[in-house]
Amino acid sequence: MAKVPGFAKAFAGRWRIVEMDTWDNDFLDLIEEAHLSFDGAADGEIAFGALRGFLDVRYGARDGSACAEFSWEGQDENDPACGRGWVAIGTAGRLVGHVYIHNGDDSGFVCERG
């Protein structure tokens, strides 16, 4: 198992997705509260709208900032779905990132500590 960088602790826990570029705020909490979470060395979860997925996370750096890059798989409107994404530590204690749905939409997003 690869060693997890110390800064990975900065991502740990549940983050509330408060804004997305592609979808409006009414859509975000359609099924459950929109969120992104990081658990343990490489696990996590993403949920917004009718999408829910489980993450496979790798920690590193992007443009000189700590980041978490992930692939995910789960369901979107009860259909199998998968994709990828990344998140970096932004200003004011927020996370900023981008999520991609394989053969589908993608969106930038902002998270705040849940």
Q: From first to last of its 114 residues, what are the pLDDT tens digits of the chain?
A: 556 667 788 999 999 999 999 999 999 999 999 999 999 889 999 999 999 999 999 998 878 888 999 999 999 999 999 999 999 998 898 999 999 999 999 999 999 997
DSSP 28-94: HTSSS--EEEEETTTEEEEEETTEEEEEEEEEEEETTEEEEEEEEEEEETTEEEEEEEEEEE-GGG-
Which domains, and CATH codes, for the chain? 7-113 (2.40.128)
